[in-house]
């Protein structure tokens, strides 16, 4: 029998008004959702992350905020020249969104052809039998975004999808993004999640599915900066066809519950994956990244780099798996995870795993956990820099390389000060790492 | 400038500096020589306030201030600079960021106006040129992947920008080729002034041909066992240290 929360979610689904053409998908989602065994502490995938914050709440479906958004929330939108879709509590806010190209549409506005594309691709890349919260996402499917580029099509600007939680206490928001790139198409996408209030207790369940066709290229960024009381369960699912490229960047602070999964499959030979991630939990925040990369076919490459700076009594989990199937000869795969604990109470559980069933492959993985380097701290103070500022500079320095690796210049410029302020709360402490 | 009186200092409960006294007046250059393990770097570390290097007795007066009572960053802001024997690599923090933070800290401590980013950039470029480091070094991580000689030149570049009143050079000449040695010496000589002093730790008389000291001291077993003028360095070069150790014993 499904756990209490699973039934609660089904009851919520019944309250929704739904786009008729999504009904079949929702029903499949609901049956997948109910057939999942609810995780316990013994469930490997949830060993270090408790679902109690989900279970211990009477959830309501989120709705659009009735009042105007606080001005501060708007200033938190990333300043980037992009096709912009802004969702507030899960509802598309037309005022804050920009004009969209024909290739980019909210599910509610999808024409018959686009509906067909959605129906054809939904849950093809994401496996809702494996991913619990993907099944929930489909169960509650109502709003969503489709980006569909046809053969060799390139968008002039990046796509920016923002999800704002506003006074969303005890409300669950379902976010869904479906990206379908036909062969040779190219796109850049930024997904951004944040709360208007730093005590907001809303929950966002966000599923992104990307089907990247032959020779197509997707640059995808996911910025998770919700309030520390927020809940986030999210996943990014990617299928790479022959010679396709996926360049992923993910940044997250921590919160009461934050679980982000990446599941990427090399399905066509010659495909290339670069995935960079930064997690920066502090205070009592939690963050849990699970990544799984499957090499199904030969001649594909993966480079995965995750770095975390864990402060105060925060806890982080990194579980990175690279699975090299029997046929995936000539695979090149590298995964590295480095962690910096800036306090004695900070914790990380890191588990990089390689599963190799092919014999002619080159793979490497490694994980480190370290503390601030005393020698470096002294060196900096011996140059007149206060210890507090030196700590901030060293913490930032730990992730700097990955920040610099963000190719979307406007995003990089936007990120630097935000990241800096997670390490040092005053300008005095961050002024020397924020520069043009 | 600096008056050390009867200093005893230990590292991990092991006494390294024993009853050391030294007076450095403004404008003077003091060379410190001595065998490996004598305590030369330890003295530099105690002066700069490295954690773990504890003065157990004695006093150090720096420009009228009680040096031992100050945190390392305050010592630096007051104008004490140590060019490290082994500069640490700090990946992720650029040389430029470190330099700007250091110079801002020193200037604001001494009541000077902060330099604009542009003015500072100009100064930093000049300093890098003066020590013969390509400008690209300003953008690289602090000492990250620098060669031994590049690290030493980087130390001198920092010293130039921080305009300290007391410069301690710990074996800055070790591992330098002849040209780099000249570069370092030129840098130091350009900075010589009546109100700036230097303590130069070296194993090689050769450096003192370029940076001519007012005094040469021999440090052995944690204390100064002989002091003299620059001719002492020549004598050490010829005779080594054993005659001194015999003399002291
Ligand atoms: N952090 C430390 N821990 C333990 N012992 C130390 C430490 N620092 C210095 N020492 C010891 O103190 C003594 C003096 O070392 P120091 O580095 O000051 O010598 P030095 O005169 O600079 O030698 P060199 O010419 O080789 O650079 C040595 O025996 C050294 O092993
Ligand atoms: Mg030494």
The pLDDT tens digits of the residues spanning A143-171 come to 999 999 999 999 999 999 999 999 889 99
3-state secondary structure B94-154: EHHHHHHHHHHHHHHHCCCCCCCHHHHHHHHHHHHHHCCCCCHHHHCEECCCCCHHHHHHH
**Residue B235 confidence (pLDDT):** 86
**Residue A66 confidence (pLDDT):** 62
DSSP E strand boundaries for chain B: 2-11, 14-24, 29-33, 53-62, 65-66, 80-83, 90-94, 141-142, 166-170, 197-201, 215-220, 223-228
Asked if B91 lies within 8 A of A397 by C-beta distance, the reply is yes
Q: Look up tokens 């890349």; give the residue.
A: A125
3-state secondary structure of A61: strand
With 0.90 as the threshold, say if the pTM is over it.
yes
Q: Which atom of ligand 1 is nearest to the CA of B44?
A: 18
Given a contact cutoff of 8 angstroms between Cβ atoms, the answer to whether B48 and B75 are in contact is yes
Q: Which residues contact A335 (CB under 8 A, 6 or more apart)?
A: A293, A302, A303, A304, A305, A320, A322, A352, A354, A364, A365, A366
CA nearest to A404 within chain B: B92
C-alpha A247/C-alpha B117 separation (Å) is 34
Q: Which residues contact B80 (CB under 8 A, 6 or more apart)?
A: B47, B48, B62, B67, B164, B165, B166, B168
Chain B neighbors of A401, CB-CB under 8 A: 91-92
Summarised one tens digit per residue, pLDDT across range A311-323 is: 999 999 999 999 9
Half-sphere exposure of A50 (CA within 13 A, CB side): 7
C-alpha A9/C-alpha A388 separation (Å) is 46
CA distances in angstroms from A45 to A230, A259, A321, listed in the order given: 21, 10, 12
* Distance from residue A203's CA to the centre of ligand 1 (Å): 57
Chain B neighbors of A389, CB-CB under 8 A: 101
Place A261 in a pLDDT band, splitting at 50, 70 and 90.
very high
| Ligand 1 atom 3 nearest Cα | B11
Q: Say if residue A130 is exposed, middle or buried (CB neighbours under 10 Å; 0-12, 13-18, 19+).
A: middle
Asked if B90 lies within 8 A of A397 by C-beta distance, the reply is yes
**Residue A122 confidence (pLDDT):** 96
Task: Report which of residues A398 and B177 the model is more confident about.
Answer: A398
> Which residue in A378, A387, A432 is closest to B101 by CB distance?
A432
Summarised one tens digit per residue, pLDDT across range A312-353 is: 999 999 999 999 999 999 999 999 999 999 999 999 999 999
Q: Given a cut of 90, is residue B206 above it in pLDDT?
A: no
Among B78-82, B177-181, B215-219, B222-226, the least confident range = B177-181
CA distances in angstroms from B212 to B175, B188, B218, listed in the order given: 20, 10, 16
As beta bridge partners, residue A22 has none
Torsion of CA A37, A41, A47, A51, to 10 degrees: 70
Q: Which atom of ligand 1 is nearest to the CA of B171?
A: 27
Q: Given a cut of 80, is residue B113 above it in pLDDT?
A: yes
Q: Look up tokens 């619990």; give the residue.
A: A132
Given a contact cutoff of 8 angstroms between Cβ atoms, the answer to whether A63 and A91 are in contact is yes
Asked if A393 lies within 8 A of B88 by C-beta distance, the reply is no
User: CB B193: neighbour CB atoms within 10 A?
Assistant: 11
Chain A neighbors of B117, CB-CB under 8 A: 435
Task: Choose one of B8, B14, B16, B175 to mutate for the ligand 1 pocket test, by most ligand atoms within 8 angstroms of C-beta.
Answer: B16
Place A65 in a pLDDT band, splitting at 50, 70 and 90.
low
Q: Given a cut of 80, is residue A287 above it in pLDDT?
A: yes
The helix or strand, by DSSP H or E, that contains position A88, with its residue range, turns out to be strand A83-88
Place B53 in a pLDDT band, splitting at 50, 70 and 90.
very high
As for ligand 1, residues whose beta carbon falls within 6 Å of it are: B 11-12, 16, 34, 36-42, 85
Q: Given a cut of 70, is residue A48 above it in pLDDT?
A: yes
For an interface test with A, which of B50, B82, B89, B93 has the most A Cβ atoms less than 10 Å from its Cβ?
A: B93
C-alpha A28/C-alpha B38 separation (Å) is 78
Summarised one tens digit per residue, pLDDT across range A292-315 is: 999 999 999 999 999 999 999 999
Given a contact cutoff of 8 angstroms between Cβ atoms, the answer to whether A232 and A207 are in contact is no
Q: Which residues contact A87 (CB under 8 A, 6 or more apart)?
A: A93, A143, A161, A162, A163, A164, A173, A175
* Distance from residue A342's CA to the centre of ligand 1 (Å): 29
Kindly report the nearest CA distance between residue A371 and chain B, in angstroms: 14
For an interface test with A, which of B53, B82, B90 has the most A Cβ atoms less than 10 Å from its Cβ?
A: B90
Kindly report the nearest CA distance between residue A380 and chain B, in angstroms: 7
Phi, psi at B72, each rounded to 5°? -55, -40
Of A220, A219, A266, the residue nearest A240 (C-alpha): A266
Two structure tokens written together for A329: 């000869």
Place B222 in a pLDDT band, splitting at 50, 70 and 90.
very high
**Residue B247 confidence (pLDDT):** 65
Question: Over pLDDT 70: what percentage of chain A?
Answer: 98
Strands A272-279 and B166-170: unpaired
Asked if B93 lies within 8 A of A394 by C-beta distance, the reply is yes
């Amino acid at each position: 029998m499904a756990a209490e929360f699973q039934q609660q979610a089904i009851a919520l689904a019944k309250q929704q008004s739904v786009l008729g053409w999504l009904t079949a998908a929702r029903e499949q989602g609901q049956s997948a959702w109910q057939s999942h065994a609810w995780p316990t502490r013994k469930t490997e995938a949830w060993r270090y992350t408790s679902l109690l914050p989900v279970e211990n709440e009477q959830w309501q479906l989120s709705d659009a905020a009735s009042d105007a958004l606080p001005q501060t929330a708007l200033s938190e939108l990333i300043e980037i020249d992009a096709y912009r879709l802004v969702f507030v509590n899960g509802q598309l806010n037309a005022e804050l969104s920009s004009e969209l190209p024909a290739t980019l549409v909210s599910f509610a506005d999808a024409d018959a052809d686009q509906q067909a594309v959605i129906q054809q691709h939904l849950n093809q890349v994401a496996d809702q039998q494996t991913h619990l919260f993907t099944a929930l996402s489909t169960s509650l499917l109502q709003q969503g975004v489709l980006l569909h580029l046809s053969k060799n099509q390139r968008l002039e600007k990046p796509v920016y999808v923002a999800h704002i939680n506003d006074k969303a206490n005890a409300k669950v928001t379902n976010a869904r993004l479906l990206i379908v790139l036909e062969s040779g198409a190219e796109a850049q996408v930024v997904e951004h999640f944040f709360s208007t209030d730093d005590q907001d207790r809303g929950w966002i369940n966000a599923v992104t599915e990307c089907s990247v066709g032959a020779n197509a290229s997707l640059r995808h960024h996911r910025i998770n900066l919700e309030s520390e009381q927020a809940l986030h369960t999210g996943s990014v699912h990617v299928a790479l066809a022959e010679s396709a490229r996926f360049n992923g960047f993910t940044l997250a602070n921590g919160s009461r519950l934050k679980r982000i999964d990446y599941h990427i499959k090399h399905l066509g030979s010659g495909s290339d994956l670069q995935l960079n991630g930064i997690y920066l939990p502090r205070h009592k925040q939690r963050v849990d990244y699970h990544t799984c990369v499957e090499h199904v076919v030969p001649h594909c490459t993966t480079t995965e780099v995750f770095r975390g700076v864990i402060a105060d009594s925060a806890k982080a989990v990194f579980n990175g798996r690279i699975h090299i199937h029997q046929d995936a000869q000539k695979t090149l795969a590298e995964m590295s995870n480095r962690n910096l604990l800036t306090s004695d109470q900070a914790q990380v559980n890191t588990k990089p795993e390689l599963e190799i069933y092919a014999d002619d492959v080159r793979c490497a993985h490694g994980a480190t956990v370290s503390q601030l380097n005393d020698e470096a701290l002294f060196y900096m103070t011996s140059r007149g820099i206060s210890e507090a500022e030196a700590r901030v500079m060293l913490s930032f320095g730990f992730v700097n390389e990955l920040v610099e690796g963000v190719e979307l210049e406007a995003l990089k410029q936007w990120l630097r000060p935000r990241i800096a302020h997670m390490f040092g709360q005053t300008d005095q402490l961050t002024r020397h790492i924020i520069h043009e | 400038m600096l008056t050390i009186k009867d200093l005893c200092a230990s590292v991990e409960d092991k006494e390294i500096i024993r009853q050391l006294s030294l007076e450095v007046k403004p404008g003077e250059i003091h060379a410190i020589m001595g065998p490996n393990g004598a305590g030369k770097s330890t003295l530099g570390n105690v002066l700069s306030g490295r954690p773990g290097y504890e003065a157990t007795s004695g006093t150090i007066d720096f420009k009228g201030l009680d040096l031992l009572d100050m945190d390392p960053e305050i010592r630096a802001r007051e104008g004490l600079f140590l060019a490290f024997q082994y500069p640490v690599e700090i990946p992720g923090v650029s040389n430029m960021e470190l330099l700007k933070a250091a110079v801002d800290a020193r200037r604001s401590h001494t009541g000077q106006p902060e330099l604009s980013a542009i003015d500072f950039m100009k100064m930093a470029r000049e300093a890098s040129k003066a020590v013969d480091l390509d400008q690209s070094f300003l953008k690289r991580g602090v000492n990250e992947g620098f060669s031994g000689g590049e690290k030493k030149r980087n130390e001198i570049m920092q010293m130039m920008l921080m305009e300290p009143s007391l410069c301690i050079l710990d074996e800055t000449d070790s591992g330098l080729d002849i040209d780099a040695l000249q570069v370092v010496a030129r840098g130091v000589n350009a900075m010589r002034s009546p109100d700036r002093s230097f303590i130069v730790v070296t194993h090689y008389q050769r450096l003192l041909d370029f940076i001519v000291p007012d005094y040469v001291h021999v440090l052995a077993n944690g204390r100064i066992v002989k002091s003299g003028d620059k001719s002492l360095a020549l004598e050490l070069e010829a005779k080594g240290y054993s005659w001194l150790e015999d003399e002291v014993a």
